[in-house]
Amino acid sequence: FKYSKSQLCKSLSPLAMDLRKSSDEEKLSLCKKYFIAGFAFLPWLWFVNAVWFFNEARKPNANPELRRYVIFSFIGATICAVGIAVWASQFQERRASWGAQGDDLSVTTIKGRA
């Protein structure tokens, strides 16, 4: 490899954010950006937001706006996860009965019936 492990860790350190070093305004700004980005069909950002800022939101002196973003991020991620699970189960169960439309929705077309 071109880099040693310590050099690689140092080069990636700007990508790893330590929330303890951030101000409350920076935390709120980042939390808000992740929450808004989740509406662009990126619900995994809501999950990341909820997990990343969970401890910050639980503090007694936490910013109420940050707490609200964390709670709504968790709710949004949960709703999306349930929706995807329901869609996947229904699609697997009923794809054959949907005929050509079910085949069009498939990434790979399965021939025949099981």
* pLDDT value at residue 104: 79
Give the residue among 29, 28, 49, 46 at the shortest CA–CA distance from 38: 46
Scanning the structure block, which residue is given the tokens 């990434």? 107
Question: What is the chain's mean pLDDT, rounded?
Answer: 82
pLDDT digits (tens, 9 = 90+) for 55-107: 999 999 999 999 999 999 999 999 999 999 999 999 888 888 888 888 778 77
Percentage, residues of the chain above pLDDT 90: 45
- The answer to whether the predicted template modeling score (pTM) of the entire model surpasses 0.75 is no
Two tokens, residue 63: 């910013």
* pLDDT value at residue 96: 81
Percentage, residues of the chain above pLDDT 70: 80
Give the residue among 79, 78, 64, 80 at the shortest CA–CA distance from 31: 64
Compute the average pLDDT of residues 29-34. Answer: 91
At residue 109, does pLDDT exceed 70?
A: no
* pLDDT value at residue 15: 45
Q: How far apart are CA 28 and CA 66, in angstroms?
A: 6
